[in-house]
Structure 1
Amino acid sequence: MKTILIIEDDISILRGLKDNLEYEEYNVLTELDGNKGLALAQEKQIDLILLDIMLPGMNGYEICRRLKKEKPEIPIIMITARGSEMDKVSGLDIGADDYVTKPFSIPELLARIRAVFRRIDSVNTDNETYSFGNVTIDFKKFLAFKNNKEIKLTSKEFAIMEYFIHHEGEAVHRHDLLHEVWGFDAMPTTRTVDNFILDLRKKLETNPSQPKHIISIRGVGYRFISSE
């Protein structure tokens, strides 16, 4: 049974989400306060987090930012009353996996949760282990190593690399990544893709300023090459 943590300060929304998720046979943990929610996420084994932005104690952006450094494998869906594209991009840029704006329908949210789990399961099963250069990625265990030292990749970064590996040597358009990794409904921009690629290069390339594996194609996107 998968465990979902809800960090939301609106008690009526919190109770409604908890009841519906438990009906779908998820194990549900809840917290009203940002600081306590972060602590709970750090202490427990969590499979997904539903995270409000405007919280007492610590806002959702900061919680997301910290968790993506400490436990990057946990997918996060942001839930907020804010609806502007800039708010959505801000959340996605710091590593959120999806974004839902209040008011939302429960069937829509459940569909997004299932979609996130499907993407993760796809990463886990399609390519269990893959090596290139001095990097090894274990998709089944959500582990990555560079020069035999563990490096932290977010769930989204694992998904990007899985897509690159499936399309090794091909020109991958930014919009292909938006569609396959984020999904159209997530509404990130191509800038979001570029920011993720910059972070991946810093983690995986020997010289990020002169990448040998994740190559830019001007006006198009990127090409992944396993051999230097």
Structure 2
Amino acid sequence: MRLLIVEDEKRLALSLARGLTAEGYVVDVVHDGLEGLHRASEAAYDLVVLDIMLPGMNGYRVCAALRAAGHDVPILMLTAKDGEYDEAEGLDTGADDYLTKPFSYVVLVARIKALLRRRRSGAGVSPVLVLGELRVDTGARRVHRGEEEIPLTAKEFAVLEQLAVRPGTVVSKAEILEHVWDFAYDGDPNIVEVYVSALRRKLGAALIGTVRGAGYRLEAR
């Protein structure tokens, strides 16, 4: 899952990014409203954490512009303001949730997970994916084969998740890179192959098929 944080308080933004990265998310950070709008418009994010008081363009306008352009990415708005009017204005522009500073990091993570679950549910995707003997819990980020839990690294799980939410469908290397590695990654795109090989070793070679020239497919059995 790939998140975008648009927050001009750099220490807060980087602290949130470190914490969410440790949770297994891929996180990009920008500190300006215009840059946030550009990034959210151009890249496929699963959720945007958006401050209201931003240089360049405030969060209300960023949110409204994204919705006007047809982007349905979940948006969690952050603000140092406090009051029903501010919350109503944020939600009226199309935000999905609202959190007032100072906030608990634990609450932030819980809100993010709830929004991601809601989006999966709306798309008809269960948080627990059952693929034959394999059970992928996207909420708890755990994988079981039968009764045995298979330990995966955060990146391994993220790659598997991109395949598991679309079983039987070819997912390109570019799509996996976009959702599992951050915007600044400029290394070898063949890193995807390394992680797919690791997943095959842990979960079974036949589980993930290669479609030459197109990408990878989780074999739905």
State yes or no: 1:60 paired with 2:59: yes
> Which letter does structure 1 place at the counterpart of 2:27?
V
C-alpha deviation, 1:92, in angstroms: 0.5
**Does 1:31 find its partner at 2:27?**
no
User: What's the secondary structure of 2:71's corresponding residue?
Assistant: coil
* CA drift at 1:71: 3.8
Pick 1 or 2: higher relative contact order, CA cutoff 8 A, min separation 6: 2
SS in 1 for 2:53: coil
1:125 aligned counterpart, secondary structure: coil
Aligned residues: 128
Letter in 2 for 1:40: R
Amino acid at match of 1:60: G
Check whether the contact 2:6–2:50 (CA below 8 A) recurs between aligned residues: yes
Q: Does 1:83 align with 2:94?
A: no
Where do 1:55-204 residues align within 5 Å? 55-125=54-124
1:51 aligned residue = 50
The residue type equivalent to 1:112 in the other structure is R
User: In structure 2, the residue corresponding to 1:79 is in which secondary structure?
Assistant: strand
Other structure's SS at 1:104 match: coil
Any stretches of 5+ residues in structure 1 without a counterpart? Answer: 127-139, 142-228
1:71, 1:24 → 2: CA distance?
29
Structure 2: gaps spanning 5 or more residues: 126-164, 167-221
Distance across 1 between alignment mates of 2:93 and 2:9 = 24
Amino acid at match of 2:50: L
State, as a whole percentage, how many aligned pairs show the same letter.
46
The residue identity in structure 1 corresponding to 2:37 is L
One-letter amino acid of the counterpart of residue 93, structure 1: D
Deviation, 1:72, is 2.8
Task: State the AA in 1 paired with 2:117.
Answer: R
